[in-house]
Amino acid sequence: MARFFGTPDGVHVGQLFINRRDLHESFVHAPLQAGISGTRAEGADSIVVSGGYADDEDHGDYLIYTGHGGNDSATRRQIADQSIEAPGNAGLITSFVQGFPVRVIRGPHRDSAYAPTSGYVYAGLFTVTSQWMDRSADGFLIARFRLDRLPEQARLVTRMPAEPDPAFATSTVTRRIRDSAMSRELKAMYGHRCQICETAIPGRDGRSYAEGAHVRPLGRPHLGGDKRENLLCLCPNHHTQLDLGGLVILNDLSIASATTLVPFSELKFRSDHQLAIDNVEYHRGLWTRPPRSTIISTSLHAIS
Protein backbone atom coordinates (compact mmCIF):
# COMPACT_ATOMS: atom_id res chain seq x y z
CA MET A 1 0.00 0.00 0.00
CA ALA A 2 1.31 3.48 -0.89
CA ARG A 3 2.28 5.73 2.01
CA PHE A 4 -0.74 7.78 3.10
CA PHE A 5 -0.52 11.27 4.63
CA GLY A 6 -3.55 12.31 6.65
CA THR A 7 -6.18 10.71 8.85
CA PRO A 8 -7.49 7.37 7.54
CA ASP A 9 -11.21 7.06 6.84
CA GLY A 10 -13.13 5.93 9.90
CA VAL A 11 -10.43 7.11 12.35
CA HIS A 12 -11.04 10.07 14.66
CA VAL A 13 -8.96 12.14 17.08
CA GLY A 14 -9.04 10.54 20.52
CA GLN A 15 -9.69 7.05 19.19
CA LEU A 16 -8.16 4.30 21.31
CA PHE A 17 -6.30 1.30 19.93
CA ILE A 18 -5.53 -1.84 21.87
CA ASN A 19 -1.99 -2.45 20.62
CA ARG A 20 0.43 -1.91 17.73
CA ARG A 21 -1.30 -4.59 15.66
CA ASP A 22 -4.54 -2.63 16.00
CA LEU A 23 -2.76 0.54 14.80
CA HIS A 24 -1.31 -1.38 11.87
CA GLU A 25 -4.61 -2.88 10.75
CA SER A 26 -6.34 0.51 11.00
CA PHE A 27 -3.67 2.11 8.73
CA VAL A 28 -2.78 4.58 11.49
CA HIS A 29 0.81 3.42 12.05
CA ALA A 30 2.17 0.66 9.83
CA PRO A 31 5.33 -0.56 11.68
CA LEU A 32 4.73 -3.10 14.43
CA GLN A 33 7.85 -2.03 16.33
CA ALA A 34 9.46 1.13 14.90
CA GLY A 35 8.36 4.46 16.34
CA ILE A 36 8.64 6.29 13.00
CA SER A 37 6.93 5.24 9.79
CA GLY A 38 8.86 6.81 6.93
CA THR A 39 11.74 6.95 4.49
CA ARG A 40 13.93 9.67 3.04
CA ALA A 41 12.32 9.35 -0.41
CA GLU A 42 8.69 9.36 0.74
CA GLY A 43 8.68 11.29 4.03
CA ALA A 44 7.28 10.17 7.39
CA ASP A 45 3.54 9.71 7.75
CA SER A 46 3.25 8.73 11.44
CA ILE A 47 5.11 8.49 14.73
CA VAL A 48 4.41 6.85 18.07
CA VAL A 49 5.29 8.83 21.22
CA SER A 50 5.86 6.29 23.96
CA GLY A 51 8.59 7.62 26.23
CA GLY A 52 11.34 5.46 24.76
CA TYR A 53 13.84 8.33 24.80
CA ALA A 54 14.68 10.34 27.89
CA ASP A 55 15.02 13.56 25.87
CA ASP A 56 11.44 13.53 24.54
CA GLU A 57 9.14 16.38 25.63
CA ASP A 58 5.35 16.25 25.31
CA HIS A 59 3.58 19.60 25.67
CA GLY A 60 0.23 18.51 24.31
CA ASP A 61 -0.14 20.66 21.21
CA TYR A 62 3.55 20.43 20.40
CA LEU A 63 6.27 17.82 20.88
CA ILE A 64 10.04 17.78 21.08
CA TYR A 65 10.61 14.34 19.64
CA THR A 66 13.80 12.30 19.57
CA GLY A 67 14.56 10.35 16.39
CA HIS A 68 15.59 6.70 16.39
CA GLY A 69 18.89 4.90 16.88
CA GLY A 70 21.57 4.38 19.51
CA ASN A 71 19.21 3.92 22.46
CA ASP A 72 19.36 1.18 25.09
CA SER A 73 15.70 0.16 25.38
CA ALA A 74 16.21 -1.23 28.87
CA THR A 75 17.70 1.93 30.42
CA ARG A 76 16.50 4.56 27.89
CA ARG A 77 20.08 5.84 27.83
CA GLN A 78 21.81 6.81 24.62
CA ILE A 79 24.77 4.53 23.89
CA ALA A 80 25.63 5.63 20.34
CA ASP A 81 25.19 8.57 17.97
CA GLN A 82 22.05 8.83 15.87
CA SER A 83 22.19 9.67 12.17
CA ILE A 84 19.98 11.89 10.04
CA GLU A 85 20.39 9.23 7.34
CA ALA A 86 18.51 6.61 9.40
CA PRO A 87 15.26 5.91 7.53
CA GLY A 88 12.83 7.32 10.09
CA ASN A 89 14.92 10.39 10.86
CA ALA A 90 15.44 11.07 7.16
CA GLY A 91 11.71 10.62 6.62
CA LEU A 92 10.83 13.22 9.24
CA ILE A 93 13.30 15.64 7.63
CA THR A 94 11.59 15.11 4.26
CA SER A 95 8.21 15.78 5.88
CA PHE A 96 9.69 18.95 7.42
CA VAL A 97 10.96 20.24 4.09
CA GLN A 98 7.85 19.23 2.12
CA GLY A 99 5.29 20.20 4.75
CA PHE A 100 3.71 16.73 4.93
CA PRO A 101 1.33 16.12 7.87
CA VAL A 102 2.37 13.46 10.38
CA ARG A 103 -0.06 11.31 12.38
CA VAL A 104 0.88 11.32 16.06
CA ILE A 105 -0.06 8.40 18.28
CA ARG A 106 0.57 8.44 22.01
CA GLY A 107 1.35 5.25 23.90
CA PRO A 108 1.29 4.80 27.68
CA HIS A 109 4.27 6.20 29.57
CA ARG A 110 4.78 7.89 32.91
CA ASP A 111 6.52 11.00 31.57
CA SER A 112 3.51 12.49 29.77
CA ALA A 113 0.24 13.74 31.22
CA TYR A 114 -1.18 13.52 27.69
CA ALA A 115 -0.53 9.79 27.27
CA PRO A 116 -3.22 7.14 27.80
CA THR A 117 -3.00 4.87 30.82
CA SER A 118 -3.13 1.85 28.50
CA GLY A 119 -3.23 1.14 24.79
CA TYR A 120 -2.66 3.88 22.20
CA VAL A 121 -4.56 7.06 21.37
CA TYR A 122 -4.63 8.93 18.07
CA ALA A 123 -3.68 12.57 18.77
CA GLY A 124 -4.31 13.90 15.25
CA LEU A 125 -2.17 15.50 12.55
CA PHE A 126 0.99 17.45 13.36
CA THR A 127 3.54 19.17 11.16
CA VAL A 128 7.32 19.09 11.64
CA THR A 129 8.27 22.73 12.25
CA SER A 130 11.90 22.28 13.29
CA GLN A 131 14.67 19.69 13.14
CA TRP A 132 18.16 19.68 14.59
CA MET A 133 20.94 17.56 16.00
CA ASP A 134 21.69 17.91 19.70
CA ARG A 135 23.71 16.04 22.30
CA SER A 136 21.98 13.85 24.84
CA ALA A 137 22.83 13.96 28.53
CA ASP A 138 25.13 11.01 27.80
CA GLY A 139 27.07 13.01 25.20
CA PHE A 140 25.84 11.27 22.04
CA LEU A 141 24.39 13.06 19.02
CA ILE A 142 20.62 12.70 18.73
CA ALA A 143 18.19 13.80 16.04
CA ARG A 144 15.43 15.98 17.44
CA PHE A 145 12.24 17.30 15.91
CA ARG A 146 9.60 19.77 16.95
CA LEU A 147 6.08 18.88 15.80
CA ASP A 148 3.11 21.23 16.17
CA ARG A 149 -0.50 20.10 16.04
CA LEU A 150 -2.37 21.38 13.01
CA PRO A 151 -5.45 23.54 13.67
CA GLU A 152 -9.09 22.79 12.87
CA GLN A 153 -9.05 19.32 14.41
CA ALA A 154 -11.17 17.92 17.19
CA ARG A 155 -9.84 18.84 20.59
CA LEU A 156 -8.06 15.99 22.34
CA VAL A 157 -9.29 15.37 25.88
CA THR A 158 -6.26 14.80 28.12
CA ARG A 159 -5.46 14.65 31.79
CA MET A 160 -4.28 18.28 31.70
CA PRO A 161 -4.62 21.24 29.31
CA ALA A 162 -2.14 21.49 26.46
CA GLU A 163 0.70 23.96 26.97
CA PRO A 164 0.70 26.89 24.52
CA ASP A 165 3.84 28.29 22.94
CA PRO A 166 3.11 32.03 22.48
CA ALA A 167 6.04 32.51 20.08
CA PHE A 168 4.15 30.46 17.48
CA ALA A 169 1.04 31.73 15.69
CA THR A 170 -0.67 28.96 13.76
CA SER A 171 -2.17 29.36 10.29
CA THR A 172 -4.25 26.88 8.33
CA VAL A 173 -1.26 26.02 6.14
CA THR A 174 1.77 24.04 7.15
CA ARG A 175 4.11 27.04 7.27
CA ARG A 176 4.31 29.39 10.24
CA ILE A 177 3.07 32.95 9.86
CA ARG A 178 4.98 35.53 11.86
CA ASP A 179 4.32 39.08 10.64
CA SER A 180 4.90 41.32 13.63
CA ALA A 181 4.90 45.11 13.66
CA MET A 182 8.71 44.93 13.80
CA SER A 183 8.80 42.77 10.68
CA ARG A 184 6.46 45.10 8.77
CA GLU A 185 8.57 48.09 9.80
CA LEU A 186 11.78 46.41 8.62
CA LYS A 187 10.30 45.42 5.26
CA ALA A 188 9.07 48.97 4.72
CA MET A 189 12.55 50.28 5.64
CA TYR A 190 14.08 48.29 2.77
CA GLY A 191 11.25 48.99 0.33
CA HIS A 192 10.51 45.24 0.38
CA ARG A 193 13.87 44.57 -1.31
CA CYS A 194 15.90 41.51 -0.35
CA GLN A 195 19.04 42.36 1.64
CA ILE A 196 20.98 39.75 -0.35
CA CYS A 197 19.85 40.06 -3.97
CA GLU A 198 18.00 43.41 -3.72
CA THR A 199 15.02 41.90 -5.52
CA ALA A 200 11.56 43.31 -4.81
CA ILE A 201 8.76 41.00 -5.98
CA PRO A 202 6.14 43.16 -7.71
CA GLY A 203 2.46 42.70 -7.10
CA ARG A 204 -0.73 44.40 -8.15
CA ASP A 205 -1.03 48.20 -7.88
CA GLY A 206 2.65 48.68 -7.14
CA ARG A 207 2.66 46.53 -4.02
CA SER A 208 5.84 44.54 -3.43
CA TYR A 209 6.39 41.34 -1.47
CA ALA A 210 9.21 40.36 0.87
CA GLU A 211 9.54 38.20 3.97
CA GLY A 212 10.82 39.04 7.41
CA ALA A 213 13.35 36.36 8.34
CA HIS A 214 14.35 35.65 11.94
CA VAL A 215 18.04 34.76 12.05
CA ARG A 216 17.69 32.96 15.38
CA PRO A 217 14.30 31.20 15.10
CA LEU A 218 11.39 32.02 17.35
CA GLY A 219 9.76 29.39 19.51
CA ARG A 220 11.14 26.68 21.72
CA PRO A 221 13.88 25.51 21.84
CA HIS A 222 15.61 28.37 19.94
CA LEU A 223 13.87 31.33 21.66
CA GLY A 224 15.05 33.99 19.23
CA GLY A 225 13.74 37.52 19.77
CA ASP A 226 11.30 39.37 17.54
CA LYS A 227 13.67 42.32 17.39
CA ARG A 228 15.32 44.28 14.60
CA GLU A 229 18.73 42.87 15.62
CA ASN A 230 17.39 39.39 14.79
CA LEU A 231 15.52 40.21 11.56
CA LEU A 232 16.34 40.46 7.88
CA CYS A 233 14.23 41.51 4.90
CA LEU A 234 14.60 38.71 2.33
CA CYS A 235 12.99 37.41 -0.84
CA PRO A 236 11.24 34.01 -0.44
CA ASN A 237 14.12 32.13 -2.07
CA HIS A 238 16.83 33.49 0.21
CA HIS A 239 14.56 33.21 3.25
CA THR A 240 14.04 29.51 2.53
CA GLN A 241 17.79 29.05 1.97
CA LEU A 242 18.45 30.67 5.35
CA ASP A 243 15.94 28.36 7.05
CA LEU A 244 17.11 25.17 5.36
CA GLY A 245 20.86 25.68 5.70
CA GLY A 246 21.50 26.62 2.08
CA LEU A 247 23.31 29.69 3.35
CA VAL A 248 24.83 30.98 6.57
CA ILE A 249 26.00 34.41 7.68
CA LEU A 250 29.63 34.99 8.60
CA ASN A 251 30.67 37.45 11.29
CA ASP A 252 31.65 40.03 8.66
CA LEU A 253 28.00 39.75 7.47
CA SER A 254 28.91 38.09 4.19
CA ILE A 255 26.82 35.15 2.93
CA ALA A 256 28.42 31.73 2.56
CA SER A 257 27.63 28.09 1.92
CA ALA A 258 27.29 26.11 5.15
CA THR A 259 29.46 23.32 3.77
CA THR A 260 32.41 25.42 2.56
CA LEU A 261 31.98 28.72 4.47
CA VAL A 262 33.21 30.42 1.30
CA PRO A 263 31.45 33.80 0.84
CA PHE A 264 29.40 34.26 -2.33
CA SER A 265 27.45 37.41 -1.47
CA GLU A 266 26.98 39.95 1.30
CA LEU A 267 24.13 41.50 3.21
CA LYS A 268 23.17 45.08 2.43
CA PHE A 269 22.28 47.20 5.43
CA ARG A 270 20.86 50.61 6.13
CA SER A 271 22.80 52.59 8.70
CA ASP A 272 20.03 52.24 11.30
CA HIS A 273 19.84 48.44 11.09
CA GLN A 274 22.34 45.99 12.58
CA LEU A 275 22.30 42.29 13.37
CA ALA A 276 23.45 41.02 16.75
CA ILE A 277 26.52 38.84 16.15
CA ASP A 278 25.39 36.31 18.74
CA ASN A 279 22.25 35.68 16.61
CA VAL A 280 24.45 35.27 13.52
CA GLU A 281 26.70 32.81 15.35
CA TYR A 282 23.71 30.89 16.70
CA HIS A 283 22.26 30.45 13.22
CA ARG A 284 25.62 29.42 11.76
CA GLY A 285 26.01 26.89 14.55
CA LEU A 286 22.72 25.31 13.49
CA TRP A 287 24.37 24.03 10.34
CA THR A 288 27.79 22.87 11.60
CA ARG A 289 28.51 19.82 13.72
CA PRO A 290 28.38 20.99 17.34
CA PRO A 291 31.32 20.39 19.70
CA ARG A 292 28.85 20.74 22.59
CA SER A 293 25.07 20.67 22.99
CA THR A 294 24.32 22.97 20.10
CA ILE A 295 21.42 22.83 17.68
CA ILE A 296 22.36 22.35 14.04
CA SER A 297 19.22 22.81 12.00
CA THR A 298 16.32 25.15 12.16
CA SER A 299 12.64 25.74 11.69
CA LEU A 300 10.88 26.56 8.45
CA HIS A 301 8.72 29.66 8.61
CA ALA A 302 7.47 32.50 6.46
CA ILE A 303 6.26 36.02 7.01
CA SER A 304 4.05 37.73 4.52
Per residue in 235-275, pLDDT (tens digit) is: 999 998 998 888 999 999 999 998 889 999 999 999 999 99
| 98 and 44 within one domain | yes
Average pLDDT over residues 4-14: 92
Instruction: Based on the fold, state whether residues 33 and 142 are members of the same structural domain.
Output: yes
In a domain, 11, yes or no: no
Question: Residue 222 falls within a domain, yes or no?
Answer: yes
The residue that leads in pLDDT, 169 or 210, is 210
Point out the domain boundary residue: 105, 133, 149.
Answer: 149
Question: Is 60 exceeded by the pLDDT of residue 137?
Answer: yes
Number of domain units in the chain: 2
Same domain flag for 141 and 180:
no
Query: Does residue 245 lie within any of the structural domains?
Result: yes
Residue 164 lies in a domain: no
Q: Dump pLDDT digits (tens) for 284-304.
A: 988 765 444 433 344 444 333
In a domain, 283, yes or no: yes
Residues 188 and 283 in one domain: yes
Residue type for position 154:
A
Domain that holds residue 61: 16-149
The torsion region of residue 231 among left (phi > 0), alpha (psi -120 to 50) and beta comes to beta
Residues 6+ apart with CB under 8 A from 8: 26, 27, 28
Confidence (pLDDT) at 205: 63
Average pLDDT over residues 120-137: 89
The answer as to whether 162 is a domain residue is no
Classify residue 268 by burial, with Cβ atoms within 10 Å: 0-12, 13-18, 19+: middle
What does the pLDDT read at residue 77? 84
166 assigned to some structural domain: no
171 occurs within a structural domain: no
> How far, in Å, are 40, 58, 72, 146, 168 from residue 85 at the CA level?
8, 24, 20, 18, 29
Average pLDDT over the chain reads: 84
* Same domain membership, residue 183 and residue 125: no
Query: What Å distances lie between residue 74 and 51, 84, 96, 139, CA to CA?
Result: 12, 23, 30, 18
**39 and 129 housed in the same domain:** yes
> What percentage of the chain has pLDDT greater than the value 90?
48
